[in-house]
Chain A
Amino acid sequence: GDSVTQMEGPVTLSEEAFLTINCTYTATGYPSLFWYVQYPGEGLQLLLKATKADDKGSNKGFEATYRKETTSFHLEKGSVQVSDSAVYFCALKYGGSNYKLTFGKGTLLTVNP
């Protein structure tokens, strides 16, 4: 079945460091790919998405590129801030009638000043 694997956390970085959180997926078709973020005490929020191969999703300085050849959707940010501390979830979803999100386990990011 479909699955999402993301790097184990926790990840601890200093402010202004470069961030990569790896995400790979297994799917039978061509899903849309998502990164959701959960800030402390808040609900999950969509961070960015990409709906087809080679699409790049971007938001708040974060980027991820849909790589069909490597079945990956790695999240990157050039310079993290303390306010980026959160749990990040990679997820996939098919369009049409197949609507449910399949999530990875989440990666806790802590950014220190």
Chain B
Amino acid sequence: GAGVSQSPSNKVTEKGKDVELRCDPISGHTALYWYRQRLGQGLEFLIYFQGNSAPDKSGLPSDRFSAERTGESVSTLTIQRTQQEDSAVYLCASSPRGAETQYFGPGTRLLVL
């Protein structure tokens, strides 16, 4: 079946612009996660959704970052007024309720000039 998909695969933007990153989880997966990987760093947890609610937003680095999920499906991560330090690969993962294994998408590579 289809895996987790993310779009766009690459995004180049200018400092100060807003960007939206999209994640389509595996159908039926109630849990959805966003992670960020900056160059030379491990993956950092950003936010977790169970259904459409986000019980843990603790990893969002600033109030410029927000995310939403609708219909227990698609999620959008929005970065407002992008900064150069936002340049990273943004990864989305999903899992069935109660499952340990997370299934990752290919990521969106964001470059802020």
Contacts and interface: CB of A to CB of B under 8 A. Distances in A.
Nearest to B47: A100
Interface of B: 3-4, 31, 33, 35, 40-45, 48, 56, 59, 91, 93, 100-107
Interface centre among B33, B44, B56, B104 (most CB of A within 10 A): B104
Nearest to B92: A43
10 contacts: A36-B104, A43-B106, A44-B104, A89-B42, A89-B43, A93-B100, A99-B33, A99-B48, A103-B44, A105-B41
A104 B42 contact: yes
Given A43-B4, A43-B107, A101 B102 contact: yes
A102 B45 contact: yes
Interface in A41-73: 41-46, 49, 51
Contacts of A45: 104
A103 B93 CA distance: 14
A44 B91 contact: yes
Interface residues of A, number: 23
Contacts of B41: 105
Given A43-B91, A49-B100, A4 B4 contact: no
A100 B33 contact: yes
A43 B48 CA distance: 18
A100 B91 contact: no
Nearest to A101: B102
A4 B101 contact: no
Interface centre among A41, A93, A99, A101 (most CB of B within 10 A): A99
B91 A105 contact: no
Interface centre among B31, B42, B45, B102 (most CB of A within 10 A): B42
A102 B48 CA distance: 13
